[in-house]
């Protein structure tokens, strides 16, 4: 009876055999699945007849890729993962001292952001910098700011808000309408837009914050849609789906303007060549300042009693009430503060685009902002910024990938796959780091030393 194989030797000695077997099964399944999907294609010929195009080559390629992928995963990927796990289990106590980069992450990040336009202009010149500063820099920073604003509501107070874009819309339309009709300057309307969004936050909050969890999420979602529909249908004021154009540009605190025709055009004042890049660079620094202001206020608020009450609310609402905290006003302040930053971002957005229409404020925007907050790690400013760079930067960079056309044919438009990649990235990140990029939480006060709180103790909130 020497032929008895112990279970251990089975798994250790025969991973290759098993990998081959698994690869074969995968190939069979792939063949079965794709023979009709890929192998055959219906098409119309010149006489408008339906014909079957046979694509056996492509089918074979897909099946082979599947089999090889499965073989590599089972044969090499899985054992490697197991080994890494075993190694981790063997040495659990060795917590790595945070390296230079992670210790000074914030400083390095802010310095990089401040130097970014300078570096870009130096690299590709004024005209070439337009795309990089506008499409990447400003676009990403708007989302960073929005996500940081929503983070107050979702990450700190634990209130799931699916209609955040409504406040963004309120801010944008506040600036667009007041700016075009009354010619008020951006610097007056920025706080006004924030205040107006905060006011809407409170108005929405009053009836809604009695609800918790799923119900709150649904009602905030509905609120977002209501605002959008009001904007579409209230034509006399908002000009409906046609939107509002000709929104005045931001001036350099009234000292310089960015309109070529104005006497105090920046080029004339500083005696430099006319270029539209100045405005973009100015906007970049403006949104950077606004975003940093959001971060600064959030950090400050977290250490104040309100901020602590928000987090306590996320942890346990009933305990909060037993300690004499008025949970309704606490939730309202979280809602209003988050909404205010949404309003700021909205007025900036209107000023940057020079045009607003309801299409910019669809539910998808709320979902993307929320996704960034969740991916980054609820409550963590650094993680959220990284998530925004990855998500928004990643989808923007798809526009740049022209070489993909060479691979997939000339009518391949990578932008169309934006949402697919966005979703895939989310799934992968959530599997790899279920609590987002930065799962741990910084305590707001300490007696002896500040130690991050592991995410296994924090809660997400129920409402």
Partner 1 sequence: MNANPPINDAILQVEHLSMKFGGLVAIGDLSFRAKRGEITALIGPNGAGKTTVFNCITGFYKPSEGMITLNRSDGSSFLLERLPNHEIPARAKVARTFQNIRLFSGMTLLENLLVAQHNKLMKASGYTVLGLFGFSSYRKVSAESVDLAKHWLEKANLVDRADDPAGDLPYGAQRRLEIARAMCTGPELLCLDEPAAGLNPKESLALNELLMDIKNNSGTSILLIEHDMSVVMQISDHVVVLEYGRKISDGDPKTVRTDPRVIAAYLGVDDEEVETVLTEVGDEEVIEQLDTGPDSAHGPGNSASMLAGPVSDTVGHSNGGERVTVEKGAGKADRSGPRAPDERQSTDKSGGRK
Q: Which residues in the 327-366 window bind partner 1 by CB under 8 A?
A: 327, 333
> Are the C-beta atoms of residues 368 and 425 closer than 8 Å to each other?
no
With binding defined as CB under 8 A, does residue 300 bind partner 1?
Answer: yes
Closest CA to 440 of 451, 429, 428, 427: 451
Separation between Cα atoms, residue 155 and residue 24, nearest integer Å: 46
With binding defined as CB under 8 A, does residue 214 bind partner 1?
Answer: no
Q: Give backbone dihedrals phi and psi of 240, rounded to 5 degrees, phi first.
A: 55, -150
> Are the C-beta atoms of residues 191 and 197 closer than 8 Å to each other?
no
Closest CA to 400 of 74, 119, 29, 128: 128
Residue choice 304, 364, 419, 427 for contact with partner 1 (CB under 8 A): 304
> Are the C-beta atoms of residues 438 and 380 closer than 8 Å to each other?
yes
> What minimum distance in Å lies between the beta carbon of 320 and partner 1?
7
Q: 43: which strand partners?
A: 51
> What minimum distance in Å lies between the beta carbon of 99 and partner 1?
23
With binding defined as CB under 8 A, does residue 301 bind partner 1?
Answer: yes
> What minimum distance in Å lies between the beta carbon of 458 and partner 1?
3
Residue choice 319, 401, 419, 427 for contact with partner 1 (CB under 8 A): 319
With binding defined as CB under 8 A, does residue 170 bind partner 1?
Answer: no
Separation between Cα atoms, residue 37 and residue 213, nearest integer Å: 41
Residue choice 306, 362, 398, 404 for contact with partner 1 (CB under 8 A): 306
Nearest to partner 1 of 180, 327 (CB atom) = 327
| SS3 category, 258 | coil
Residue choice 211, 256, 297, 425 for contact with partner 1 (CB under 8 A): 297
Residue choice 70, 228, 280, 441 for contact with partner 1 (CB under 8 A): 441
Nearest to partner 1 of 22, 442 (CB atom) = 442
With binding defined as CB under 8 A, does residue 447 bind partner 1?
Answer: yes
> What minimum distance in Å lies between the beta carbon of 181 and partner 1?
32
Q: 322: which strand partners?
A: none
Contacts of 408 (CB under 8 A, 6+ apart): none
Residue 448: Cβ-neighbour burial (10 angstroms; 0-12, 13-18, 19+)? exposed
> What minimum distance in Å lies between the beta carbon of 451 and partner 1?
5
Task: Report the interface residues with partner 1, using CB under 8 A.
Answer: 297, 300-301, 304-306, 308-309, 311-312, 315-316, 318-327, 333, 441, 443-451, 453-459
């Amino acid at each position: 009876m020497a032929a008895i194989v112990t279970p251990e030797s089975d798994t250790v000695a025969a991973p290759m055999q098993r990998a081959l077997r698994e690869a074969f099964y995968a190939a069979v399944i792939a063949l079965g699945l794709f023979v009709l999907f890929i192998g055959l294609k219906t098409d119309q010929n010149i006489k408008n007849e339906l014909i079957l195009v046979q694509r056996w080559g492509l089918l074979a390629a897909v099946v082979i890729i599947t089999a090889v992928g499965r073989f590599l995963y089972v044969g090499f990927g899985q054992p490697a993962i197991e080994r890494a796990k075993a190694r981790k289990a063997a040495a659990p106590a060795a917590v790595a001292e945070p390296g230079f980069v992670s210790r000074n992450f914030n400083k390095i990040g802010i310095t990089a952001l401040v130097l970014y336009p300078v570096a870009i202009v130096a690299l590709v010149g004024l005209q070439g910098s337009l795309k990089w500063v506008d499409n990447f820099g400003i676009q990403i920073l708007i989302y960073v700011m929005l996500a940081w604003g929503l983070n107050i509501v979702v990450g700190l107070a634990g209130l799931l808000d699916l209609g955040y874009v409504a406040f963004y819309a309120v801010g944008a339309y506040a600036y667009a309408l007041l700016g075009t009709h009354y010619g008020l300057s951006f610097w007056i309307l920025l706080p006004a837009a924030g205040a107006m969004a905060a006011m809407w936050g409170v108005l929405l909050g009053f009836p809604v914050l009695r609800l918790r969890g799923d119900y709150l999420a649904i009602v905030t979602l509905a609120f977002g849609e209501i605002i959008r529909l009001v904007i579409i249908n209230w034509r006399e004021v908002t000009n409906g789906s046609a939107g509002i154009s000709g929104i005045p540009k931001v001036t350099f605190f009234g000292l310089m303007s960015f309109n070529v025709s104005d006497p105090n055009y920046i080029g004339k004042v500083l005696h430099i060549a006319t270029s539209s890049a100045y405005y973009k660079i100015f906007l970049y620094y403006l949104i950077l300042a606004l975003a940093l202001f959001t971060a600064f206020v959030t950090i400050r608020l977290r250490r104040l009693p309100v901020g602590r009450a928000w987090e306590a609310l996320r942890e346990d609402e009933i305990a909060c009430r037993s300690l004499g905290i008025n949970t309704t006003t606490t939730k309202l302040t979280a809602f209003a503060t988050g909404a205010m930053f949404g309003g700021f971002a909205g007025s900036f957005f209107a000023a940057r685009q020079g045009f607003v229409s309801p299409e910019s404020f669809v539910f998808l925007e709320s979902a993307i902002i929320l996704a960034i907050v969740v991916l980054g790690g609820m409550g963590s400013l650094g993680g959220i910024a990284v998530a925004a760079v990855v998500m928004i930067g990643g989808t923007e960079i798809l526009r740049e990938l022209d070489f993909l056309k060479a691979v997939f044919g000339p009518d391949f438009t990578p932008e169309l796959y934006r949402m697919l990649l966005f979703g895939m990235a989310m799934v992968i990140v959530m599997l790899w780091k279920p609590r987002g990029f930065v799962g741990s939480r910084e305590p707001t006060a300490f007696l002896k030393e500040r130690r991050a709180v592991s995410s296994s103790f924090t809660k997400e909130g129920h409402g």
